[in-house]
Amino acid sequence: MSNDIVSVQGVSKRFGSVLAVDDVSFGIPRNEFFALLGPSGCGKTTLLRIIAGLEHPDDGAVIIDGEDMAGIPPNRRPVNMVFQSYAVFPHMTVAQNVAYGLRVTGTPRAEVSRRVDEALEIVQLAGLAGRKPHQLSGGQRQRVALARALVKRPKVLLLDEPLSALDAKLREQMRLELANLQQQVGITFIIVTHDQDEALSMADRIAVMNEGRVCQTATPDVLYESPASRFVAEFIGKVNLFESRVLGANGRTLAVEVGELGALEVPHEKAGPREGAAIALAVRPEKLTISTAPPDGDGRARLAVAARVINWAYYGDTSHMYVRTEKGLELNVNIQNTTRDTAESLNVGDAVWVSWAAADMIVLEE
Amino acid sequence: MTRKGAQVHAMARSFAGLARWRPGRSRRAPLGPLDYGRRLWLRIVVALTFILIYMPIVTLMVFSFNDSRRNIVWRGFTTKYYVKAWHNDGLFEAFTNSLTIAVVSTIVSTIIGAMVALLLWRFRFPGKAAYEGFMALPIVIPDICLGVAMLVFFARIGWPAHMPWPLNLSAITIAHIAFSFPFVSIVVRARLAGFNRELEEASRDLGASEWQTFRHVILPYMKPGLIAGALLAFTLSLDDFVVTFFTSGPNTVTFPVKVYSMVRFSVTPEVNAASTVLILITVLTTILAVRFQNPARN
Amino acid sequence: MESWRKHPLVFWILALPGSVWLVVFFLVPLAFVWVMSFGEKRGLLDIEITWTLSQYKAAFQPVYFKIIWKSLWISALVTALCIVLAYPVAFLVAFASPRAKPILLLLVIMPFWINMLIRTYALIAVFRTRGYVNFTLEWLWNTFWLDRLFGPFVPLELLYNNFAVIAGITYVFMPFMVLPLYATIERLDKSYLEASLDLGASQVRTFFSVTVPLTMPGIVSGIILVFIPAMGSFLIPDLLGGTNAQMVGNVIARQFKAANDWPFGAALSFLLMYATFGALALRALFAGRKSAMEV
């Protein structure tokens, strides 16, 4: 833990009767791009504001670079923030905005102007130094907010939903830019977002939050392929869920009974749940294959179930098929439209087979 | 005349919470950097300011019950000055005059003000910005200029000075309407600004005529604004001293003018008593106006 | 919003009463005064319009100019006092909890609705020789045995001087300053203040570099709302200032009531009008520049 630039230890924050942040702990190593992901109202912004010093926790501690931040006001913390609304001062020019944080701390004039130029260069706004914020586009204003924070050379840069105010195209472009920028400046970034794509594509590690608690902290691929809980599985991507009961465990696999599928074995590395416990099995829609003929075994353990197409939605690159098994279970299957005629091959009411590898089943306890 | 209306609609929105207000548990959370509302020094400064503002008014009201003519030391509770004020014919007549003027001025100002509000809300026309500025003029110019203008005007056109009651109040009433209805129009227009024009279109789409739409859709929506505007016009008229002072003749004394002539010489408990009554009327009107302006309640 | 041509009848019905009233009972009276300000007094009641500027010139004679100058500095001082007193109040109300805010706002606007004459009158009782201030001071004096050291308490002369007038106008017009300030502070995006703190500025620095510039429109509105009526005040200096502390308003009133020199009074009151228009024009200019800055 001592190597962590930010360490959040048992932090809680209550607003009236609402527990916004509930005993949260995690550590962030130096130079990591860390994301706090969760639905609105999960406490992620409050947590970010607690790190910035804009809110004080009721309980717990925030340690930044080995220093306890208790009682230290926001203006004396080695962190800077990019606000959701950007909060670019409307009465100052771009250059004055960027210079503000240096001027108020008494940086020599020559150094201020050198560092401001540098920061504007990094965010590609060098030509707009004399503009007022109202003359800028939303994307440009965001760059000003970024430059204004980066020019302070903070130990940690905090970004509160930085892309939410941008349109879809610009958002995608900024994701890449932000990730590159983080590599370039070598500063720890903590980003708050409710957009899973944003977190998955940019962050080194993600903490998924719900109702004030951290549900899981992991790399994007682990979060997606091995979610630790039903909430995480359902919040990140789509999932088909099977309610099931544990029959027994033998080290590497878990024998379970699924109502719709019968008894089967799924891989499970961890010390498994007790016999007889109710668990859920999950499989991602793109792991499912759909065919008109019954699939034949291909060496790996494969599960198959007969169903009928009840609905489908066409998305261009993919199609989402909704099928219902004979026992009434509804499944969602994503198909890559790899050829130009795939979309028209199936109709509502067609009898199909859905199959997938048992190894793609995720075991969700609780 | 005062500038009450100028900010009325700005603050109206903030009163949304008044109806919702209920005392809750107090909590002690750590002070955030922007929790200025909970900083002790700021609270003390503001509390002192409020004390400075209210102390003179409250002492005036309290000492109207003091059983002593001259002394500011408390000599016991009495209501005799209220009785005296009630039987003071001059004071009573002035009060009746003030109320009569206020009622007539309120009715006329509310109607004219509402019409102006509808006009500015509904129509585009050349010179509209200038017209709006013109409508705001009575609000911004100093009272004394308006008072002087009324004095000169009524003297020059030879407005009859000696008419039977209540016609002798006509000049004052006309002057009051002139500065009240622009205030009413501001309040009503602020209310209309929140009107969803689709409601009107829906009404027309459902087969209502223009007039039926006005009568059954727009007018009910305007009502809180009309009431708030009327209450504002009422207190404006009741409170006015400067314009009335210049417009009134020797036989048309209103309450503020009467009080003025009394207090120029001394502080008397009767004036305290009469003032207390007027303050209570105003406080009541204010609370009512605030309630009606609260858009959340409607 | 639709063009008036679509419903000319409705348009005229709505437009006429207000316009006629304001023209006949406001614009025409003002025009009378304006014309009169270029007239001369002939005899006791006759006034001849000679289009002379002599009345305006008379206003700048030392004896009257002194009063105009005094009205100006008193109004300026009062406006400054109002800003200093009103800002903390507006700030606290804007940041108050949702439960306390409506009550605080009610406390702010209540005096605003109470009769100005009564509030001025209430101050007489506070300031007079045997008023509450002197009473309290005397009590303190005697409690701390200062009477044994320096002799009996000598009441302060608080009434009928410039101090009383300044205190009175400040007292009466302060709410005009609180409300526009409150409205702009309330609307101010609080993340600007947070951003400033986050960038390393202290609370004091944040206040002067961010809060004050961004609430300038409210400050300007407040200045207009206090300065103009303060310049035109007549009642307060009349009651609290006595003969020692007169302002333009008292001179105007005297021309119409006692001295009976209407043309001179008209000129003085139009000087006030010109000042008002000037102030409004300045604000419009300022607002035009400011609105370009809004994001």
pLDDT (tens digit per residue) in A161-173: 998 888 888 888 8
Instruction: Judge: B46–C280 Cβ closer than 8 Å, yes or no.
Output: no
- φ/ψ region of A86 (left if φ > 0, alpha if ψ in -120 to 50, else beta) reads left
Which of A41, C283, C89 is CA-nearest to residue B53?
C89
Residue ranges per domain, chain A? 4-234, 238-364
Q: Which of A16, A54, A56 sits opposite B30 (nearest CB)?
A: A56
pLDDT grade for B293, boundaries at 50, 70 and 90: low
User: Would you say the CATH fold of A238-364 matches that of A4-234?
Assistant: no
Question: Minimal Cα–Cα distance from B33 to chain A, Å?
Answer: 6
pLDDT grade for A365, boundaries at 50, 70 and 90: confident
Cβ count within 10 A of residue C145: 9
Instruction: Judge: A87–C293 Cβ closer than 8 Å, yes or no.
Output: no
Cα C199 to Cα A52: distance, rounded to the nearest angstrom: 10
Which of A218, A237, A345, A213 is CA-nearest to residue A285?
A237
Low-confidence ranges of chain C (pLDDT < 70): 44, 288-295
Range in A223-227, B150-154, B160-164, B250-254 with the lowest mean pLDDT = B160-164
Q: CB distance from A89 to chain C under 8 Å? A: yes
Range in A40-44, B64-68, B167-171 with the lowest mean pLDDT = B64-68
Could you give the 3-state DSSP secondary structure of residue C42? Answer: strand
Q: Domain A238-364: give its CATH architecture.
A: Beta Barrel (2.40)
Q: What domains lie within chain C, and their CATH numbers?
A: 56-294 (1.10.3720.10)
- Evaluated on CA atoms B145, B148, B154, B160, the torsion sign reads positive
Cα B203 to Cα B197: distance, rounded to the nearest angstrom: 10
Instruction: Judge: C228–B156 Cβ closer than 8 Å, yes or no.
Output: no
Neighbours of chain C (3+ CB pairs under 8 A): A, B
Q: CB distance from B60 to chain C under 8 Å? A: yes
The residue type of C265 is G
pLDDT (tens digit per residue) in B2-55: 444 444 444 444 443 343 334 443 445 667 888 888 888 899 999 999 998 998
Q: Which of B42, B45, B123 sits opposite C4 (nearest CB)?
A: B123
**Secondary structure percentages of chain B, helix, strand, coil, to 5:** 75, 0, 25
> Residue C295 has what pLDDT?
36
Q: CB distance from B34 to chain A under 8 Å? A: yes
Provide mean pLDDT across the span B148-174.
87
Provide mean pLDDT across the span B64-68.
83
Which of C100, C91, C98 is CA-nearest to residue C215?
C91
pLDDT tops 70 at residue B154: yes
The complex scores an ipTM of 0.86
> Residue B258 has what pLDDT?
87
> Residue B11 has what pLDDT?
44
Per CB-CB distance under 8 Å, the chain B contacts of A53 are 33
DSSP β-ladder status, A18-29 and A156-160: unpaired
- Radius of gyration from C-alpha coordinates of chain A: 25
Question: Minimal Cα–Cα distance from A74 to chain C, Å?
Answer: 5
Q: Domain A4-234: give its CATH architecture.
A: 3-Layer(aba) Sandwich (3.40)
Range in A234-238, B276-280, C126-130 with the lowest mean pLDDT = C126-130
pLDDT tops 70 at residue B262: yes
Which of B51, B88, B53 is CA-nearest to residue B273?
B88
Cα C211 to Cα C181: distance, rounded to the nearest angstrom: 11
Q: Kindly report the CA angle at A320 between A317 and A324, in degrees rounded to 5?
A: 160
- Chain centre to alpha carbon of residue C284: 18
Which of B3, B1, B73, B84 is CA-nearest to residue B262?
B84
Q: Which of B22, B116, B140, B145 to mutate to test the interface with C (most CBs of C within 10 A)?
A: B145
Q: Which of C198, C202, C289 to mutate to test the interface with A (most CBs of A within 10 A)?
A: C198
Instruction: Judge: A74–B30 Cβ closer than 8 Å, yes or no.
Output: no
Cα B289 to Cα B15: distance, rounded to the nearest angstrom: 11
Q: What is the dihedral of CA C90, C92, C97, C102, to 10 degrees?
A: -40
Query: Phi and psi (nearest 5°) for B21?
Result: -60, 130
Strand partners, B66: B77
Cα C142 to Cα B137: distance, rounded to the nearest angstrom: 54
Are the CB atoms for B94 and B253 separated by under 8 Å?
Answer: yes
> Residue A3 has what pLDDT?
77
Per CB-CB distance under 8 Å, the chain B contacts of C265 are 148
